[in-house]
Every structure is written in C-alpha cells, then in structure tokens.
Amino acid sequence: MKRNLLAATVAIGIVTLVGCNNKDKEQNVELTTSIQQASYGIGLNMGQTLAQDGLNDLDLDALKLGMQDALGGKPPRLEDKDIIAAFGDLQARLEEKASEADEANQQAAADYLAENAKREGVITTDSGLQYEIIESGEADGAQPSATDVVTVHYEGRLIDGTVFDSSLQRGEPTDLPVGQVIPGWVEALQLMRVGDKWKVTIPSELAYGPMSPSPLIPPNSVLVFDMQLLGIQGNGDTE
C-alpha cells in the first residue's frame, strides 16, 4: 500500500503548528480568533491523516525546525538528495508496516469465518457468505430481485465489534438498489423475505476486498451486518 509522501510533507509542515513538546506552551495557546481556530482545525485534520498513515512517530523537534526554517526564509539544512533518500526510507517502512497489517488482518478474517461457520444456526452459501436468521417474516413474503429497490434497517461492524455504519443509530431506514451494493449484500437481500432479520457475515472478497472505502474499514475486512428487510418499493411492502 503506497503512501504519497510528497503530499504528506505539506501535512507534516502544518502539524508542527500544533505539535509541541512543551506542555506549558500547549496550555498557553489561544483558540479564540477565527484564524487561530482555523489553524488548529487544519493541524488537527492533518495530524489525524498522518496518524492514519502510520506517521505518528515522527520527530516533532525536527518537524518544528523545518517549519521554522521555511517560514523564516532560511536555507535548508539538508540537501534535496538527502531528503529524497529519507522519504524513500520512510516510504519503504510504511509499505512494510501496511503489508504486515494486511497479512494479520487476512489471517484474523480467515480465523473468524472458520469459527463463525461452526456456530449453531449459521448457514454458509456456496460463495462463502454466512448468515443467521434472527427473526423471520411471513413464509410467503416477497423476495427482492437484483433490479428492485429495497428498504432496510442495518448496522455494520468489523469483527472486533467496531461499528462503521448504522441506519439504526441514525434512526431511519435506508432505501437502496439491490444490484448496486457490495456482492455480499446483493446475495443476502435476494435470499431474504420482507420482515426477515438476519445477521450476515460477509467475507472480504464479497465486500471491498483489498480496497478500503473509508478509514473505518481496513483492507481485506470481514464485515458483519445486522440486516432487516422492511420492504420492496413498488409492491406495497415498504413501511
């Protein structure tokens, strides 16, 4: 997983505005004017980005020195070739860490799926999708097709329990086209009947695979959903 260190250098410079090893100085920083608040917001946003990219162990003193030299119009203390070489080393370290994290995540996912499949009531389809029926609707209830739009209530979690999306928390169900969601949802929805409530466990290859749609969902993640099919639009079943 490659990181754009040239873009990150901008964030690194900005983060020094709020990065300080002196706690007394941190306590004396005022955040009352709009420019102070905007400056803090930029630093906070960039700092969070750097942390997500694994750059949370940078040398703050060196960062601060680079920022001071740039703002003060002083000549750089390092030659371009040395900085580029250092970025190369940092890039390699980030890629190694990302690779190790991906491997660990894939192993954890495989272990979770294997154990979950053994649980009583869990059904595994040919694709590897796993589901457990929590509540059943009418036995002759309507089933959606890939061309339908359905109304669902859901909550999505990672295998460690972290919630990354939830219509339940928002207090409002969601309308979505069956054929335009992740493959695991496409399959599960067409197996459900209106009124069904299932716990659905989706292997990464039926979800987002090595891609990540947001920082909340790491690559190669197994996704666990509580799903309730409330209705199918156009056939009188929607609530």
Active site residues: 154, 164-165, 182, 208, 225
For residue 107, what are the CA distances in angstroms to 16, 101, 120, 209? 37, 10, 23, 14
Distant-in-sequence, close-in-space partners of 211: CB < 8 Å, separation ≥ 6: 219
Structure tokens at 207: 């979800």
Q: For residues 127 and 182, is the Cβ–Cβ distance under 8 A? A: no
Q: For residues 101 and 94, is the Cβ–Cβ distance under 8 A? A: no
Radius of gyration of the chain (CA): 24
Facing residues of 135 across strands? 197
Residue 112: how many other CB atoms lie within 10 Å: 18
Rounded Cα–Cα distance for residues 227 and 128 (Å)? 18
For residue 238, what are the CA distances in angstroms to 72, 77, 152, 178? 64, 67, 9, 14
